[in-house]
Amino acid sequence: MATLLVVTVLLPLLGGLALLLAPKLDHKAARWVALATTLATLAFSLVLVGAFQVGDASAQFAFEGADGHAGLPWVAVGSGPGIRFALGLDGVALSLFALTSLLLVTSVFCSWSSITERAPTYYALLLFLETGLLGLFASLDVVLFYIFFEFTLIPLFFLVGLYGGPERRRASITFFLYTLAGSLLTLLGVIALIVVHYRFSTPQVLTFSIPELTEGLSRITSADWAFTRPLADSFSLSQFLLQPQVFIFLLLFAGFAIKVPLFPFHTWLPLAHVEAPTAGSVLLAGVLLKVGGYGFLRFNLAMTPMGTAVLAPMLVAISVIGIIYGALTALAQTDVKRLVAYSSVSHMGFIALGLFSMTLVSVDGAVLQMINHGLTTGALFACVGVLYERYHTREMDRMGGIWKRLPLFAFFLILASMGSAAVPGLNGFVGEFPILAGSFSRFPRATVVAAIGIILGAYYLFLMLQKVIFGPLREPGGEGHGHGHDDSAGVPPVQWYEIAGLAPLLALIVIIGLYPKPFYDRITPSVESIVARFPAEGAGMSTEPNQTVSAPGEDSPRALLARSAQVTAP
Amino acid sequence: MPPSSPPPIDFSQLWALSPEILLTLWGLVLLLVDVGPLRGRPGSSRRKTVGSLALIGPIGVFALLLAPLVAGPGAGGGDPDPTLVYGTIAGDPLATSFNGVIALLLAMVIGMSMAWDFTEHWGAYFALLLWAAVGMMVLVAAEELLILFLALELMTICLYLAAAFEKDKRRSAEAGMKYFVYGSVASALFLFGLSLLYGLTGTTFLDGIRRVLVESAAATGEAGGLSGDLVGATAVLLILVGFGFKLAAVPFHQWAPDTYEGAPAPVSAWIASGSKLASLVALMKVLLHALAPWAGAVGGEAGGGWVLIVAAIAAATMTYGNLAALAQRNLKRMLAYSSIAHAGYMLVGVLAAMVTVRSGSSAAEAAGAVLFYLVIYSLTTVGAFAAAAWLARGLGRDDIDDLDGLGVRSPGLAVCLAILMLSLIGLPPTAGFVSKLAMFLEVLNADASARSTLLLLVALALVNSVISAFYYARVLRALFLRRSDRSPGPAPRGVSWPIVLAALAAVGFGLEPAPLVDSMRSAASAMLTITLPPSPPDLPAPAPVAAIPVSGGMAMQK
């Protein structure tokens, strides 16, 4: 299985290289090659999902090296295990891994007819992106993680910059530089984590392994690291910020918050999402944003839990502002794609709220919601792409009653919107409800405000449905292009590849909504192992250093979490 | 020096100097060929003939370097003392491996030079390139201050002339003139610094200087550092002026942008890569080995030393280089500022190598990381300058905007150039990332008192990498996102293979850095552990006795 994981990660890379080496291929052949590669990758990742041991929190499918460390040695650093090519999946990573391989199939279908020029390069870039994303979720080594993390930028830069809309140059450069700026700060944070671990761990080990770092950092008892004072108890802001956990948290936060994106760091998102080709938007919203959430969980929450705890009130406030701001901005859009893009800001706010509330229930919900958001937003962007290919506009004011022209498409769009709007019975509900329920036990006021975001979400999505789907048929017939309004008979029905791309997402939207248990079963143990390192509720406020980190095994994680996650009136 | 009778030179030692000797002689041959058999032929045909002949030089160096491997062990090595010619020149793995790197860079530069006609005097031009390479090779191997200075001058004088070789362009003459004026002043100051150092220690051997300094520090019972030692501090500052000029470190960088922009692209590439590479190795030898006792502490009040000065220079260099590069429109000028910025990063690495707490076999790993960075930087920079040569050939100018649309016209080379830019930013999976990471990770092993300062510098370096992304991305944008109706035409072979080779190195060493990292580590450990033979009486050994009255005089001055 360890081999299969490596093969799954590298298969798209090989497919992409094959496409690059055959640039004379026409777009028809290229798309079949890309489809075959993504389907094979999806099949392999489904095998991995099947082979995954439910209930085991540790990383599975990891290759055990001869020296007892996971993975193959890659670059020796000092006397320790060094930087290693170590891959493995725990429950959280597995879910996102599978989501990525599924959305890649969708994005190939999204590009099926729209990309005709320089198609081999385009599909090669998509496949490179897939390798980057799969490798990122499967990395068990911080440097490897970072390499894949940065590597995703390069194909996306070209996907947006070469195949995007009219503003593509500005969008790709903005996206590239914005993300790069944040991620270099993250690199500094990662280096700082390694330094801290190296300095305080006994015996001194220089390790780059994510599980070892997580474990080692939580065992450090030095007061400098383990004890973090909340802002209220600090003498000054700078004293608060210079505490190791807070400072490193903020460094790590810089890159991931831009990826997510959290409220003040979201400005690159609408531009990039709108200008990207459909497949690019699907992947940006579906997977790339999850990278930020995954990073929060893997690094910020797991490795600097005390820093997260003391910063949580501010982080929750930012998340809630993002929820409301994103929803209100989405409400004001007339362009469908922009609307979906801003809805992402709002929904990712929910995920951040769930993560930073630091209860098992809310973090669990946030992880599931990452999957859900990937599915629903991926489907929404794909629907927008379907629409755009037929009418070459995304202005809601210029269309209406599409139901009459494309009933199947209307069904897809309604289902995806309802999933996104967290209608009970669909996936958004089973993700957002635990987030709100878990957060309420810690931050009741913020949660109440956030709940308004759900209402607003339903508002803008249904408003969009009302304009686009219902009402009298109004098609943008290309006034001024010489086409009459009767020409709309030329609008082709929904094609097989569009159905093939959307159907699995919609099926999963319904399945997760009706029966989320298998998904939670895989996610929860891994989340539990992270949540178990959180300080007990209120410990952040305490001045007793020895209360800060619950020793593993002392208090069963489940018991600890059940307590903090109880929904009680404050 | 005591007038003892030195033993006659062991001519078998000359084998270790064969690359230098070969290139020197071959330069003469090129000159003669150009004025002899090729006399009267048109410039472009002489360019091709002499250029192809010149390529034999670096190829011969490779052959000489590989010969011991083919002949098996014992043919060239096996000597426990790695120094040659009375201990003035090292024949260690450092010199061998960097001879190879310099020969490779030289081959790339010669290839670029053959791209277009910018001069008539091809024999002299290629001979100067070769002789500059000789200077670099000796500089890397120098173990003695006079040899070091002579090698430095040999290298720079050849480059002064080469920079002014595009005679029909006034910018080229300006480039050579500026380089010369700044360079000669810096050399004079450098020499003055060396003379002070000789006066203080009574020896010109790097290892001898180290011994004297260690002994005098032990005698006075002071911790290392320069506090109160006015003459010593002056010597260090003057030496740093000299090296700072060669590395184009702020504030001795003013010549670099004008020279890089005005000089023909191959010469700029040669100044940015080979000259910088050799000077940084020499700087590391002098600072990390000879002057290590003067390093001083980074934190705390106890004894400042050159570490603090270098830290300040590094911070200023990378910040200024990157900020100034943001405003550039000309490709070569942008690369000049980028090379200034990279010098700053490398100085951070030098600092990390100084304050490292590693000991034993891994002691040199920090310095090895700097050497690794240096090699990767040199290769990628030469590749990037090859693009400038391409533009200069096709369009007669080399602005970044002239790269517009190359992504469509020559996708292969454009992708290679993009890889080079990503490597210069330091983005994975290129070697630029690995080398930056390896160098910056050395913070881990820094002395506890220096760690916070170093972390600060590394943070500054990373912020600077972000800034650098802005101007490197401009090249990417020009290549792929813009269209243009002016094209430099297809790239000649001399331009395309350096670009492809550099890109391959950037990707290859990014994915599999281990071989180069290991060889650089062993080179660094050879560099830092080199010691003079335990001074047999017949060697013109340094006279450590001389140091005691001098440092006594110092004490009185205090």
Contact B434 A151 (CB under 8 A): no
CB contact, 8 Å: A452 with chain B?
A: no
A248 vs B contacts (CB less than 8 Å): none
Q: What is the pLDDT of residue A567?
A: 42
Question: Mutating which of A141, A147, A169, A208 best tests the B interface, going by the most B Cβ atoms within 10 A?
Answer: A147
Q: What is the pLDDT of residue A390?
A: 86
Measured CA to CA, the distance from residue B249 to residue B244 in angstroms comes to: 5
- The pLDDT-based confidence of B197 (bands split at 50, 70, 90) is very high
Q: Which residue has the higher pLDDT, B523 or B74?
A: B523
Contact A188 B514 (CB under 8 A): no
Measured CA to CA, the distance from residue A321 to residue B10 in angstroms comes to: 79
- The pLDDT-based confidence of B557 (bands split at 50, 70, 90) is very low
Contact B481 A169 (CB under 8 A): yes
- The pLDDT-based confidence of A539 (bands split at 50, 70, 90) is very low
Question: Mutating which of B408, B415, B433, B444 best tests the A interface, going by the most A Cβ atoms within 10 A?
Answer: B444
Distant-in-sequence contacts of A242-248, Cβ < 8 A, 24+ apart? A243/A307, A244/A192, A244/A196, A245/A304, A245/A305, A245/A306, A245/A307, A245/A310, A246/A307, A246/A310, A246/A311, A247/A192, A247/A307, A248/A189, A248/A192, A248/A193, A248/A196, A248/A303, A248/A304, A248/A307
- Which residues are bridge partners to B84 per DSSP? B89
The nearest CA of chain A is from the CA of B156 a distance in Å of 37
| pLDDT-above-90 percentage for chain A | 41
The two tokens of residue A360 are 């098992």
Contact A74 B470 (CB under 8 A): no
Q: What is the pLDDT of residue B488?
A: 82
Measured CA to CA, the distance from residue B144 to residue B154 in angstroms comes to: 15
CB contact, 8 Å: A147 with chain B?
A: yes
Q: Is the dihedral of CA B28, B246, B277, B294 positive or negative?
A: positive
Mean pLDDT for the stretch of residues A411-419: 93
The nearest CA of chain A is from the CA of B17 a distance in Å of 33
Among chain A residues, CA nearest to B439:
A77
Is residue B179 a contact partner of residue B160, using CB atoms and an 8 Å limit? yes
Q: Flag whether pLDDT at B74 surpasses 70.
A: no
The nearest CA of chain A is from the CA of B549 a distance in Å of 43
- DSSP-assigned letters across all residues of B444-503: GGB-HHHHHHHHHHHHHHHHHHHHHHHHHHHHHIIIII---S----SPPHHHHHHHHHHH
Q: How far is CA A495 from CA A113, A499, B263, in A?
A: 10, 6, 60
- The pLDDT-based confidence of B226 (bands split at 50, 70, 90) is confident
B476 vs A contacts (CB less than 8 Å): 157
Measured CA to CA, the distance from residue B183 to residue B189 in angstroms comes to: 10
- The pLDDT-based confidence of B540 (bands split at 50, 70, 90) is very low
Q: Flag whether pLDDT at A543 surpasses 70.
A: no
Question: Mutating which of B441, B474, B512, B519 best tests the A interface, going by the most A Cβ atoms within 10 A?
Answer: B441
B429 vs A contacts (CB less than 8 Å): 147, 151
pTM beyond 0.80: yes
B445 vs A contacts (CB less than 8 Å): 78
Contact B466 A143 (CB under 8 A): no
Measured CA to CA, the distance from residue B307 to residue B293 in angstroms comes to: 11
Measured CA to CA, the distance from residue A55 to residue A94 in angstroms comes to: 13
User: Where is average pLDDT lowest: A72-81, A378-387, B305-314, B379-388?
Assistant: A72-81
Q: Flag whether pLDDT at A205 surpasses 70.
A: yes
Q: What is the pLDDT of residue B175?
A: 92
CB contact, 8 Å: A195 with chain B?
A: yes
Neighbours of B325 (CB within 10 A): 24
The nearest CA of chain B is from the CA of A64 a distance in Å of 21
Contact B444 A172 (CB under 8 A): no
Q: Across all residues in chain A, what is the average pLDDT?
A: 85
Residues of chain B with a CB closer than 8 angstroms to some CB in chain A:
358, 362, 365, 411, 422, 425, 427-429, 433-434, 437-438, 440-441, 443-445, 451, 455, 458-459, 462-463, 465-466, 469-470, 473, 476-477, 480-482, 513-514, 517
Contact A195 B451 (CB under 8 A): yes
Q: Across all residues in chain B, what is the average pLDDT?
A: 85
B411 vs A contacts (CB less than 8 Å): 23, 121
CB contact, 8 Å: A75 with chain B?
A: yes
Question: Mutating which of B406, B481, B484 best tests the A interface, going by the most A Cβ atoms within 10 A?
Answer: B481
The two tokens of residue B447 are 């002395």
CB contact, 8 Å: A78 with chain B?
A: yes
- The pLDDT-based confidence of B81 (bands split at 50, 70, 90) is low
For B232, phi and psi rounded to 5 degrees? -60, -45
Contact B481 A162 (CB under 8 A): yes
Neighbours of B373 (CB within 10 A): 27
Measured CA to CA, the distance from residue A501 to residue A504 in angstroms comes to: 7
Is residue B367 a contact partner of residue B288, using CB atoms and an 8 Å limit? yes
Q: How far is CA A241 from CA A229, A238, B203, in A?
A: 10, 5, 51
B517 vs A contacts (CB less than 8 Å): 75-76
Contact A173 B425 (CB under 8 A): no
Mean pLDDT for the stretch of residues A319-347: 93
Is residue A339 a contact partner of residue A469, using CB atoms and an 8 Å limit? no
Q: Across the interface, which of B429, B441, B473 has its CB nearest the CB of A177?
A: B473
Q: What is the pLDDT of residue A558?
A: 42
Among chain B residues, CA nearest to A147:
B428
The nearest CA of chain A is from the CA of B1 a distance in Å of 43
Q: What is the pLDDT of residue A58?
A: 82
Q: What is the pLDDT of residues B486-524, one digit of tens each?
A: 888 888 888 999 999 999 999 999 988 888 988 898 888
How big is the A-B interface in CB pairs under 8 Å? Answer: 84
Does B429 sit behind a cis peptide bond, omega within 30 degrees of 0 on the bond before it?
yes
A247 vs B contacts (CB less than 8 Å): none
Q: Flag whether pLDDT at B209 surpasses 60.
A: yes
B434 vs A contacts (CB less than 8 Å): 75
Q: Which residue has the higher pLDDT, A398 or B339?
A: B339
Among chain A residues, CA nearest to B455:
A192
Contact B466 A184 (CB under 8 A): yes
Q: What is the pLDDT of residues A293-318, one digit of tens each?
A: 999 999 999 999 888 888 999 999 99
B473 vs A contacts (CB less than 8 Å): 173, 176-177
